[in-house]
Chain A
Amino acid sequence: MHEQQWPLWEVFIRSKQGLDHKHAGSLHAADAAMAIENARDVYTRRMEGVSIWVVESKYIHASNPDEASSLYDPANDKVYRHPTFYDLPDELKHM
């Protein structure tokens, strides 16, 4: 193997039943076309998916775990933000 590694890509797969793409894992590839082919070979061998997204890992920005308490705890006592106080009409699906 070369010391020069191909860039890392994050793979998102939409399954047959799923409505959204879910993070499946990561892999190495030289470019986007190869990343999609690699994702097909590595992550959809067991009929997991019908659609693939890839994005170079360097373009993903993450929140800082050290800031978790200030970021997420304030939502704990704000139950009124959940839309649980509405009566949903029966025709409405996927809620």
Chain B
Amino acid sequence: MDYPALIEYALHLADNALILGHRNSEWTGRGPILEQDIALSNISLDLIGQARYLYQYAARLIGSDTTEDELAYGRDSWDFRNCLLVEQDNGDWGKTVLRQFLFSAWQYYFYERMQQGQDRELAAIAGKSLKEVTYHLRWSSEWVIRLGDGTEESHARMERALDQLWQFTGELFVPANYERALSAEGVAVDSEQLGPLWRGRVEEVFGEAQLSPPDAAWMQKGGKEGRHTEHLGYLLAEMQFLQRTYPGCEW
């Protein structure tokens, strides 16, 4: 077993969940309507819960009394292994739900595979999380269809959001070094194989939403290896503020 790779892989998955969970939580108290404010906050809590399981696992693998909190609050931008998609700013409600949909569709097929993986801890986390993600995918699909096939205004906003976010989806299907090292052993999910499944689901929902994926071929990447967009630094500055200012503080 390649331990450094497994740690990085667990951190990659944890960072994905934590960063998107935090992004969504920025809507708490500001949602377009009370019911949707609660819905998105629930999704935040699901994602942060998934992140905790994964950080706890990574902390155990690292050993020497490392804690989940140190991993979430003590690392810097270049240590984070999350994909670029989840750190993008919220924009309007349409951009937020589209980001959630693009990510949930990936996470759905990903967890489905990880359930059958060779690492029992990761497989158990996947099994538990898949139920939550099934709902996230259903909820976000509904919204993409509602807004994409809604008014002229909502359709235009969804197209704009799609133009902004699409370039960050390619990275999901390009394995990082640690993924490559682990997928030979059946521990990591083969991310290239998820591409067609993801694409099929996205096109199905886009069909109903009257949206079509942009043709532009250029895809950004680097997040999984610690090269991030400028958005992540601002997010971390806010999220980590308390632990940075009062290290180890509890309440």
Contacts and interface: CB of A to CB of B under 8 A. Distances in A.
B209 to A, nearest CB: 15
Interface in B127-182: 135, 138-139, 142, 146
Contacts of A6: 33
A28 B34 contact: yes
B39 interface: yes
A75 to B, nearest CB: 39
Given A30-B146, A34-B142, A45 B42 contact: yes
A33 interface: yes
A28 B33 CA distance: 8
B25 to A, nearest CB: 15
A31 to B, nearest CB: 9
A29 B142 CA distance: 13
Contacts of A38: 35-36, 38-39
Interface in B28-85: 32-36, 38-39, 42
Contacts of B146: 30, 34
Contacts of B34: 27-28
B39 A41 contact: yes
Give the contact-size bracket for chain A: 10 to 19
A37 interface: yes
A42 interface: yes
Interface residues of B, number: 13
Interface in A33-78: 33-34, 37-38, 40-42, 45
A52 B176 CA distance: 43
A71 B66 CA distance: 69
Contact of A37 (B32, B33, B139): B139
Contact of A42 (B32, B38, B142): B38
Nearest to A5: B33
A19 interface: no
Contacts of B35: 27-29, 38, 41-42
Interface in A19-33: 27-30, 33
B34 to A, nearest CB: 7
A27 B39 CA distance: 13
Q: Which of A27, A30, A37 counts the most chain B CB atoms within 10 A?
A: A37
Contacts of A33: 142
A37 B139 CA distance: 8
A45 B39 CA distance: 10
Contacts of A28: 33-35
B42 A37 contact: no
Given A27-B34, A34-B142, A37-B138, 20 more contacts: A1-B33, A6-B33, A27-B35, A28-B33, A28-B34, A28-B35, A29-B35, A30-B146, A33-B142, A34-B146, A37-B39, A37-B139, A37-B142, A38-B35, A38-B38, A41-B35, A41-B39, A41-B42, A42-B35, A42-B38
Considering the complex of A and B, which 9 residue pairs feature the smallest CB-CB distances, nearest first?
A38-B35, A41-B39, A27-B35, A41-B38, A41-B42, A42-B38, A42-B35, A28-B35, A37-B139
